[in-house]
């Protein structure tokens, strides 16, 4: 069954290398925690807060070994007052064999503030 796997991470500065490194780290942890490979992924949607403009986070995913054919798309989040700054969010659609409640969602760095109920 295809399920949505969620994750988010923050960067300390809007610098391309950091955006790519942290995005790759998040996506790899999401896949590992849910025991999925690139072949199990239907698509990945990545959003960033409007203060991230230095790089496309999708590039980091496309450069991961075996992930070059995974459809990935980037977009900006809504510009909401009081939103967590410098945040990258990922929604991965993947074939998994677990119940919805058993999906492991990954929140790293300051992004743990977004969903403390899901952080283990």
Query: Tens digit of pLDDT for each residue in 33-47?
Result: 999 999 999 999 999
CATH of the domain at 70: 3.30.1330.40
Give the active site residue among 74, 81, 95, 102. 74
Residue 3 annotated among the catalytic residues of the structure? no
Give the pLDDT mean for 89-102.
Answer: 94
62 is known as an active-site residue:
yes
Query: From CA 29, how far away is CA 63, in angstroms rounded?
Result: 16
Range of the domain at 37: 2-118
User: Is 89 known to be catalytic?
Assistant: yes
What's the gap between Cα 20 and its chain centre?
A: 11
Q: Is the separation of the CB atoms in 55 and 106 below 8 Å?
A: no
Is 65 one of the catalytic residues?
no
pLDDT at 120: 64
The answer to whether residues 33 and 119 touch, using CB atoms and an 8 Å cutoff, is: no
Distance, CA of 115 to CA of 56 (rounded, Å):
24
Q: How many domains does the chain have?
A: 1
- Active-site residue flag, 115: yes
Categorize the per-residue pLDDT at 95 as very low, low, confident or very high, splitting at 50, 70 and 90: very high
């Amino acid at each position: 069954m295809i399920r949505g796997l969620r994750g988010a991470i923050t960067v300390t500065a809007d610098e391309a290398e950091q955006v790519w490194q942290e995005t790759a780290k998040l996506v790899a942890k999401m896949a590992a925690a849910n025991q999925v490979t690139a072949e199990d992924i239907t698509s990945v949607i990545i959003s960033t807060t409007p203060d991230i403009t230095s790089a496309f986070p999708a590039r980091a995913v496309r450069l991961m070994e075996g992930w070059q054919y995974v459809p990935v798309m980037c977009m900006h989040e809504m510009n909401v007052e009081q939103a967590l700054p410098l945040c990258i969010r990922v929604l991965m659609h993947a074939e998994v064999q677990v119940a919805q409640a058993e999906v492991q969602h990954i929140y790293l760095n300051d992004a743990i503030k977004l969903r403390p109920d899901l952080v283990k």
